[in-house]
Amino acid sequence: MLYRKEEKFDTIKPWLVKTMAAFRFLLVSILAFLLLSPFIKTLFNKVEKPVIIIAQDNSSSILLNKDSAFYQNEYLDKLKALRESLEETYEVKTYTFGENLNEGNQIDYSEKITNLSNAFNEINNKFYNRNVGALILASDGIFNQGANPIFNSGIEFPVYTIALGDTSVQRDIILKEVIHNKLTFLGNQFPIEIAAEAAQCINQKTQLTITHKGKQIFSKRYDINSERFSINENVLFEAEEVGVQHYKISLSTIKGEISYVNNTKDIYIEVLDGRQNILILANAPHPDVKALKLSIESNENYKVTNQLISKFDGNTEAYSLVIIHQIPNTISPALKKVIESDISIFYILGNQTSISNYNSLNIGLNIKNARNRFNEILPAVADKFPLFSLSENTIKNINGYPPVIGPFGTYQLKTNGYVLLNQKIGSVETETPLMVFFQNNGKKTIVFAAEGIWKWRMQDFLKNKNHQAFDELINKTVQFLSVKEDKSKFRIFTKNNYFENEEIQFNAELYNDSYELVNEPEIKINLLSESGEQYNFVFNRTSTSYLLNAGILPAGFYNYKAKVKFGTKDYIETGKFQINKLLLEANNIIANHQLLQNIALKFGGKLFYPQQIGDILKAITENSDITSIIYEENDLKELINLKWIFFVLLSLLSLEWFLRKRNGAY
């Protein structure tokens, strides 16, 4: 192998044989060494330049002042020059921000919301453990979403602020807020509350008008007699037409206003044709009935009628559900008709309840061995109730409610019911149901196995000065009972209200005859704005259903119509939604340079004005803390991965082969 006792080399010069043997020896030795998987360790220094972050406020309030042309032209040139100068020495990252932080330098002042604290948090997250030299924050200091950035504790580098905008009070009439119900009922009166302010408009006049379908329905004139003049108006209107009604609230403009955008607001109020009717049938007058009626009617979607069972005629066509308070000793034909119908029923038991008659109904919760005995029962909210959720505050209040009176006996939950409240006797919480929900063949039933819930409503007011917890319990119960199961095979889901900066999202579901989700057919949807603009889209398929992102659309009211053909049938779903204008930026246009000064002082920077942008480079350059960082890094590699090792081996092999070939050894 290493040329020992090779007779064919006898004629070759000894030094040449030794050379070839040396080549082979080196080759074999290196290969054997490489089989041991040796590593090579390299030490080198890495220099990380300081990162200078430029964050530019891209919100529309920047332009709502007399210097708007400056900020669209000359200022942008100054900012570009600063960025280019910094790039000669530092690593520069540029962002714009409004509601969110966006990388790049596309500045058009189009953002509808300013969230300074979110910008700070995003910068913190993006540059964690980086050598950040400084943050240059260019803003007017106005924020209308999120927390005050001065309380951000994560910033560990200097912040140099550029104070944009105008701190002086400009002449402007601002329609600050319009408060209204989102829905009302036909024939009802509904209020529209208006809050406005006129700044620097003394001795001027403005007129408030409200229009509906192009017709002026309210008008009032104001003589402005102070530099900060407030307008507060509460106007009542009657809902005269079903559907979504569009109202425009406007304050007439005054010459010299800095902005006319904030003089007008559009609102939409949905007028429904009627409330859901609920019937309470009571065996006898009882304070529970009054408590239930007051609680249910706190939600204006519902209207309650109460009758004595003895006077009930059996007609329930007008009602969404029936509450039966105490089942009498004799079940009349009218009451039997209700019980045997498909209408949802809420049973409340008590000391006037015929337990034998109740058990004969086979609702799902039977009470054995009652023998006309009753217990004081405390409520305990059960775990993992699946039908709806209660707020933590409501759960806490329910668990502290006073006792109610219920039948004493053995409770048997005969079918699968959903228990919301268990019985607590003294301090012992049992698994005996107090309030249980049933769903059988499309019919919904609830049993509350006690009377005296009027005390719960009183306790709420005594403790909290309101009835919110009790009302939430009763209203969510009523909502569960009154909502009909959706058995349609084609369903469209979207929000009722969006803001103009939100993307419009739709979900769709299509079911076959076995009510299994399918998504083979194509679903198309048409959106029609109130101005007549049409937008057509096709849904994207997900694993089993459909999804559509229609993007951002102009503010206004929209109707939609979705279509799909499945088999031989055509399915159509219609609906509506509204997109509300965001005028947060126009509601406050006075720059807050004090906030920018405080930020700069807190984080070791300095405030500059747009005319001083060139001085920021000098301030950063002279800051001795803003320096490059040198890291010593180790690089550990397997020797076999070095390319030059391969070429050494190839060279040794080639040289040996050449010498053997030349000297006739092959």
Q: Give me the DSSP letters along 88-119.
A: TTSEEEEEEESSSEEES------BS---HHHH
Give the span between the Cα atoms of 249 and 260, in whole angstroms. Answer: 13
Burial of 386 (0-12, 13-18, 19+ CB in 10 A): exposed
Domains 172-271 and 276-482 share a fold: no
Q: How confident is the model at residue 637, as a pLDDT?
A: 79
Domain 276-482: assigned CATH number: 3.40.50.880
Query: How sure is the predictor about 372, in pLDDT bands with cuts at 50, 70 and 90?
Result: confident
Task: Determine whether domain 50-167+590-627 maps to CATH 3.10.180.10.
Answer: no
Helix or strand or coil: residue 195? Answer: strand
pLDDT at 665 over 70: no
**Pairwise pLDDT comparison (581 vs 536), residue with the higher score:** 536
The region of weakest confidence among 31-45, 153-167, 547-561 is 31-45
Closest listed residue to residue 377, CA positions, set 357, 355, 347, 350? 350
Give the span between the Cα atoms of 117 and 122, in whole angstroms. Answer: 9
Query: How sure is the predictor about 151, in pLDDT bands with cuts at 50, 70 and 90?
Result: confident
Q: How confident is the model at residue 652, as a pLDDT?
A: 79
Query: How sure is the predictor about 283, in pLDDT bands with cuts at 50, 70 and 90?
Result: very high
What is the rounded average pLDDT of the residues 531-554? 95
Give the span between the Cα atoms of 527 and 117, in whole angstroms. Answer: 36
pLDDT at 7 over 70: no
Query: How sure is the predictor about 357, in pLDDT bands with cuts at 50, 70 and 90?
Result: very high
The pLDDT tens digits for 56-66 are 999 999 998 88
Contacts of 162 (CB under 8 A, 6+ apart): 136, 137, 138, 139, 607, 608, 609, 610, 613, 616
Closest listed residue to residue 337, CA positions, set 310, 355, 313? 313
323: β partners: 280, 346
**Pairwise pLDDT comparison (221 vs 655), residue with the higher score:** 221
Percent of the chain with pLDDT over 70: 97
**Reported pTM:** 0.62
pLDDT at 95 over 90: yes
Q: How many CB atoms lie within 10 A of CB 524?
A: 14
Q: How confident is the model at residue 92, as a pLDDT?
A: 96
Percent of the chain with pLDDT over 90: 64
Quote the strand ranges of 104-259, DSSP E: 132-139, 159-163, 172-180, 183-185, 189-199, 205-212, 215-223, 228-238, 243-251
Q: How confident is the model at residue 8, as a pLDDT?
A: 61
Give the span between the Cα atoms of 222 and 229, in whole angstroms. Answer: 10
Tokens of 107: 């500045």
What is the rounded average pLDDT of the residues 125-144? 93
Quote the strand ranges of 400-503, DSSP E: 404-407, 410-413, 418-425, 428-440, 443-448, 490-493, 497-499
Q: What is the dihedral of CA 457, 461, 467, 470, to 10 degrees?
A: -40
Quick check: 539 and 525 in contact, CB under 8 A? yes
- H helix or E strand, kind and range, residue 338: helix 333-340
Helix or strand or coil: residue 155? Answer: coil
Q: Which CATH architecture has domain 172-271?
A: Sandwich (2.60)
CATH class belonging to 490-580: mainly beta
**Average per-residue pLDDT for the chain:** 90
pLDDT at 16 over 80: no
**Pairwise pLDDT comparison (199 vs 243), residue with the higher score:** 199
What are the extents of the domains in the chain? 7-45+634-662, 50-167+590-627, 172-271, 276-482, 490-580
What is the rounded average pLDDT of the residues 16-38? 80
pLDDT at 233 over 90: yes
Give the span between the Cα atoms of 53 and 137, in whole angstroms. Answer: 8
Q: How confident is the model at residue 72, as a pLDDT?
A: 95
Question: In this structure, what DSSP letter does residue 256 have?
Answer: T
